[in-house]
Every structure is written in structure tokens, then in C-alpha cells.
Structure 1
Amino acid sequence: MEFTLSGNSLKIFARSVASIARIGTEVVFESSSSQLSIHTLNSSRSAYQSIKYKPDFFDVYTIVSGAQVKCSVLLKDMCAVLRTAVSNIDHLDMRLDDPDASKVQWTLFCFSGMKKTYWITCNTEPDSQHLSLDRSKLPSSFVVRPRDLYRLLANFQSNLHEITVIATAPLLVPPDAADQIGGKAVELRSYIDPTQEIDSSLYTQLWIDPAEEFVQYTHAGNPVDVTFSVKELKAFLSFCEACEVDIHFYFDKAGEPILMVPKFGLDDGSGSNFDATLVLATMLISQLNSQYPSETPPATNSTPASQQVEDGNAAENHPSGHTRIWSDLS
């Protein structure tokens, strides 16, 4: 396998690695004649990100006919390769001469004439796990511009770990709340673990009119909510902002995964030479009926649900402060 990147494609690839590095510790490369995909899964198995590139994304993309190459490398090593500013790089070459090779070669050709070559240890038999999630089965969705989402998140504490999104049909806002929230159909709410001390925590509720803040909003029926991690959200938000694309959120209800993908204008993404997917676990317990946390909250089962990862084997539960793992996703 061999590929060469330059110009805008090199910038997007560097941003892809930076985004994935904020989620996992290892990235898996899978290449075929039709695409190259990179993906990672975090240690608690609650966040999965995948980015796929078509052959025309690259200046050169070569793979043995009919072969499928799979390997993984540590993300800290990838970040070390891309430590050189992209603006100083003319083009980047990646080469894996043998599918069973123990090292992959990365070469940077700088505008200054300097050539930097790195040999990174790789695992040719990675624990590759593919996530299967049908967005058509996630009935609620909205599209938001990165700069607008940044502005909304600025209302919350910077150290907030999880955030709750509550979606209602615009015509189903309770009459007794219409004066208070102005008929706005979406709420963003801080999630504060009720089992933890909250003396220094700021609890924020933000009501949103989708017509004003979102590019697109779809929801019908009863209100639903999803609570998920802010850290991975911000990583994907930075990636989409750098790529100058909007973010499309798909979700169902508490306990079901939330899916985020780039929104390429009016295009469905088929005309783009790359695509990305971020899937996050959501909390099992709905926050629809929760109120402002009291000073002495009762003990509550605060174990969130996670995505389900398809790996061909029954997955074990991985204890985490925020997530619980299911075995497979259908």
C-alpha cells in the first residue's frame, strides 16, 4: 500500500489524525481498491470515530489489485510525524511494502528541501471493530454550523463532562412553559452526576429556537433526550470547522447511540472525496423529568448506555465512570 498527499488533502488528513487522537490511542488503517478508512475506539468503548477517503482524495493511491491491507499504529506516533507544520510540507508519502511488515514508512518532503523519514511500528493484526448504525432508524436530527455550536457551548462551563440535548416538536411545547422558554423546541442542559459534590458546579439550561440556530431540524412526537460526552463532541466539532462543513446529528432516545456526520451543504456527501462518522454512547437514564440538582442529591444509577460494537465476539463490560458497554450493534 502506498499513497501521497499534498495541498488541501494533506490539511484534511492532518486534521483527521488530530481529531482521532483526541478520542483513542490507536488508529486502524484499512485499505481496499475503493477506499482507505481510518478508525479508532476509545478505551471505555463509548466513542467510535471513522474517516473514509476515496482514491481521488490522494495524489497517488496504490494497492495491490484485490488485496485488502489492514494495520494499526499508535496515535502518538502519528502525531509525532505530523508535528511539522502542514504549511511547511510540500507532500507526504506513506508506504507499506508488505502487508505483513512490522513498520510503516512515512516521508515528509518540505518546501525547504528537507526530507524527513519516519519508520513507525505497526500491528498487522489489529483488533479491528466495525460499527454498524443505520441513520434512517434515528428519527430525530438537526444540522448546525460549527461556529453556532461553539457559541452555544460557550454558555456552559469549560470543564463540563456531559451535556443533555432535549428535542421536542415545535408545536408540543407545554402552554405553561411557553412564556418562560418562548416556544423554543430544543434545550441544551448541563449534566451533573448526582452522586458527586456539586458545590462548585454551574447548572445551565439553554432553550433554542431551531429556526434561528439550526440549518435543519427534524423531530416529531413525544420529547426525547440524549446525554453524551462533551470531549469527543468538541474534537469532532473542531474537525468539521477546519474542513468548513456543518455537522449533522442523528439520535433516537436516551440509551441509544448518537451519530454525528459532516453535512456537505445541499449534497448528501456522495460528491465528497472523504467522509467521517462519530458515534457516542448516551446515558441510559432519561433527564426529561430531572430538575435543578439539590445540595444533597439522592443516590441514582448514573450508568450511561454505550454504543454497541460489532467484533464477532461477545464483548465484556468495561467499567468506566461514564459508560457501560453492550456486545453488538445491529
Structure 2
Amino acid sequence: MKCHVPGPNVKVLARTIHVLARFGDELYVESLADCILLRTLNAAESAYAMVKFNKNFFSYFNYNYYSGDDSEGLKCKISMKSALNTFKSPTHMDKQVENLEIKLDSETCKLIFQLKCKHGIVKTHYVSILDSKAMQAVYTKDLVPNRITSSQRIFTEALGNFQSSDDQVTLEVSTQSLLMRNYVDASVDLYKIIRTQVNIKPSEFESYVVGSDTTITFTLKEFRALLAFAEALSLPLQLHFEVTGKPAVFIVHNGSTFEAHFVLATSKPDTATQATSQTSSRVDKKRKENCNHFNENSAKKPHLDNEISNCLNEDSHLFSSIPEEAFCSERLLVNGSLPHIKDFVGQNIDSEDIPASPTSRIKIKSVFKRCFESTFDPKNLQRVILAENSDSE
């Protein structure tokens, strides 16, 4: 294989390598008669990406340059880290690189990337081939009942409301709306997390075809990566999916030059709305517990709570006091008997002759307490003048 990539298209190829690096650690390269395929797969085998560069993407293309067999092209696997070292800065690569040559060195089994930059600078990267095989994923995108075409901006703005710690997102799709919310496992305490939900109307999308109401859940890491790829190329995003458990296919293409497929696995139909239903049940259970706890406390001290509530209903003052009688129910009985009654046993004493108990009032401390004392005189305060008045008065 031998091909030349013009300067403007080098930037697209560089961004493709960077988005594929968000999916997997190994890059599969395959050259066919009319295109070159780049594929990768993550370690969990839950996300797959394939980018197809057509023949018109290159200024020169020969898929079997080093092979005598007309039907044999390049099939190899290289390290994704080595590919990233070749395309370090995709943002400014189109301004620096005039041409990129990709070829296979059959003697050393290395894939060569030769960057011809401005001012006669040539950078050559020799990437070792790890294996001579290709990878193919089986999925469908044409016969699915649900197809949505949208600008990546809509999904990007919707994800801006989600937390960075969210791992998965759930899409509830119906003919009336698309509901987007963060996925929460049923085993997680719902009082320690933030629930986010965004409702998008069908009129916001360029094309909205929903054959059956479906709920799918997939990972956010790869979803954010493909959205960034579509944003960098200013291209719309197509979403093709069936039912929960079947893969969801995201497509980004410009019509004739290249086409990218991002396939994300969806979770089984077990936890689509489980967290929402459990939220209300747990909240109701918590409210019942709080009500029962409040009722028990009220039954233990009814007299005290009534007196305190009466004090709170009165007009507030700077010095508020609680009547002494409010505490009688808790301190009258000592070991089941009235205190000090034994001093009057055997004596005929009328209740009118018993001296009244000294009254005391518990007052709230305040920083302005001294200002309300009757003996307070502000003229007696000792003040130190640090700066005299400038006026004669």
C-alpha cells in the first residue's frame, strides 16, 4: 500500500486518529481497492469505531503497491500510542504539513508515515506492525425502526447539564419527545447523587423518525468523543438504533470523502426506569419515618412542646424568656415523690401560708445587652481619639 494525503485532509486524518484513541488502544488498518479502513475496539468490547476513507480522499492511492497479487491489500494492527505520536497537534497540522505519505516497508514490516512540512522539513515515523490481520464487527444500520439526524450542538448542549462524574446516559425515545437523563444504578443511594434530565422536542432535530418507543443506555466517554469529532468537522450526527440490548450506531460523514461509524453497546432492559420508581418509594418511606419520629417525641413531652409553641407564637422581643412552669413537668418528680414535702409532714399548714418559690427568668444573651440596662450612660465610655476632626466645629 502507498498513498498520499494532501495538506487539508491531513487535519481530518489527525482528528480521526485522536477520536479512535478514545475508543481503543490498538488501531487496525486495512486497504481495499477503493478505500482505506481504520478500526478500533475498546477493552470491554462495548464500543467499536470504524472510519472509511474513500479513494478520492487521497491525491495518490495504490492499495497493493508492494504486492504482486491484485486482490491483496494491507491488513495490519499497530499501537494507538504510536499513531498518536505521528499526529500530535491536529488543530494546526493543516498549516504545517503540505503532504503526507503512508506506505508499507515489506522488508522491516513497518508502516511508514512521512510528513512533508513547509520550509523543506520532512518528518518520518516508523511504526512497528503488531499483527497481520483485520477486524470486522457485525451490526446493522439500515433496517432499524428509529433514525434521528441532528446537529451535534443539540447533544453537546444537553450534556453540558450533566455531571463530569456521570458514566452512562439514558435516552427515552418516543414520537413526542426525546428524554435524556443520567443513568443511576439501583444499588446507589439516591440521596447522595444528582439526577439530571433534559427533554428535547422532535422539532429540534433535522430528521426524527421513531418507529417504536425505546429506551437505551450507553457510555458517556465514547459519546462525548464522537460529539467532539463531529463538532471539529462541522458535520451532523446520525443515530440509528433498535431496542434496548441492541447496539446503537452513530454516523458522521460528509457524503463522498469519508464516513465514520461509532457503535456503542446498550444495556439490557433491566434498569431503564428502575431508579426513577425507587426514588419516589424511598422518599415516601423517609417521610413516614420522619413523621413517626416526630409523633413519638411529641407524645413524650406534650406539655413542654405546647408551652414552647405558645412562646414562639408571641411577639418576638430582644430578651425572650420561657416561663418557669414550662419546665415543671420534667423536674417536679424526683424518685416518684415531690421534693421538700417531708419538711412539712405533721404540720397543719394552709396552702396560703406556704411561701412562693422564687421566680427566675432565663434570658437570651445578646451583644447589645448593656445598652438596655437602666444604669447605662454612653457618656461614661472611655474613648481614645485617634484622629481629630478637621472642621473647627
Alpha-carbon distance in 1 for matches of 2:276, 2:245: 19
Deviations 1:284-321 (A, max 9, x none): 02514541654998xxxxxxxxxxxxxxxxxxxxxxxx
Partner of 1:319 in structure 2?
A: none
Query: What residue in structure 2 maps to residue 91 of structure 1?
Result: 99
Counterparts of residues 61-140 of structure 1 (less than 5 Å): 61-64=61-64, 65-84=70-89, 85-86=92-93, 87-98=95-106, 101-126=108-133, 128-140=134-146
* 1:238-249 matches, cutoff 5 A: 238-249=228-239
Query: Is the partner of 2:98 in helix, strand or coil?
Result: strand
> Structure 2 CA distance, aligned partners of 1:7 and 1:293?
55
Do 1:103 and 1:120's aligned partners in 2 also have CA atoms closer than 8 Å? yes
Residue 13 (structure 2) aligns with: 13
TM-score norm. by structure 2 comes to 0.65
Q: What CA deviation, in whole Å up to 9, does each residue of 1:130-155 have, x standing for no partner?
A: 11222133211211101222111111
Q: Which residue in the other structure is 1:144 paired with?
A: 150
Aligned partners of 1:199 and 1:295 also within 8 Å: no
Contact 1:27 1:72 in 2 (8 A): yes
- Deviation (angstroms), 1:189: 1.1
Question: Shift of the alpha carbon at 1:200?
Answer: 4.3
Amino acid at match of 1:29: V
CA contact (8 A) 1:198 1:295 kept: no
Q: Distance between the aligned counterparts of 2:88 and 2:280, measured in 1?
A: 46
- Structure 2: distance between partners of 1:189 and 1:107: 45
- Return 281-290 or 63-72, whichever deviates more: 281-290
Give the one of 181, 203, 212 matched to 2:195: 203
Give CA deviations for 1:1-39 in whole Å, capped at 9, x if unaligned: 111112321111111101100000000000021110000
Could you tell me which residue of structure 1 aligns to residue 224 of structure 2? 234
Distance 1:136 1:192 in 2: 31
Gaps of 5+ in 1: 171-184, 298-330
Residue number in structure 2 paired with 1:186: 178
- After superposition, give the CA deviation of every residue in 1:240-270 in whole Å (9 maximum; x if it has no partner): 1112210000111111110110254xxxx3x
Q: Which amino acid aligns with 2:120?
A: G
Structure 2 counterpart SS, 1:112: helix
More relative contact order in 1 or in 2 (CA 8 Å, sep 6+)?
1
Give CA-to-partner distance per residue, 1:170-221, whole Å, 9 cap, x none.
Answer: 2xxxxxxxxxxxxxx210011012224555421111111111x211111134
1:45 maps to a residue whose letter is E
The whole-number CA distance in structure 2 between the counterparts of 1:10 and 1:199 is 49
Name 1:253's counterpart in structure 2.
243
* Number of aligned residue pairs: 273
- Out of 57-66 and 9-18, give the one that drifted further: 57-66
Query: Which of 162, 167, 187 does residue 161 from structure 1 map onto?
Result: 167
Identity of aligned residues (%): 26
Q: Deviations over 1:35-86 (max 9, x none)?
A: 1000001000000000011111011112223222101111111111111541
Pair 1:68–1:290, CA change in 2 (3 A): same
Change beyond 3 A, Cα 1:263–1:166 = farther
Aligned to 2:293: none
What CA distance in whole angstroms lies between the structure 2 residues aligned with 1:251 and 1:72? Answer: 29
8 Å Cα contact 2:30/2:73 also seen in 1: yes
More helix by share: 2
Q: Which amino acid aligns with 1:162?
A: Q
* Cα distance change on mapping 1:62 and 1:77 into 2, 3 Å: same
CA RMSD of aligned residues (A): 2.1
Output the amino acid matched with 2:3: F
Q: Structure 1 length as normaliser, TM-score?
A: 0.77
1:235 aligns to what SS in structure 2? helix
**Greater strand percent: which structure?**
1
Contact 1:27 1:40 in 2 (8 A): yes
Gaps of 5+ in 2: 65-69, 283-393
| Aligned with 2:208 (options 203, 217, 225) | 217
Quick one: distance in 2 between partners of 1:292 and 1:104?
54
Q: Structure 1 residue aligned with 2:268, among 284, 297, 322?
A: 284
| 2:186–2:274 Cα contact (<8 Å) kept | no
Tell me how far apart the structure 2 counterparts of residues 82 and 214 of structure 1 sit (CA, whole Å).
Answer: 34
Instruction: Summarize the Cα distance change of 1:56–1:263 in structure 2 as closer, same or farther, 3 Å threshold.
Output: closer
Bigger Cα displacement from structure 2, 193-202 vs 1-10: 193-202
**Amino acid aligned to 1:22:** R
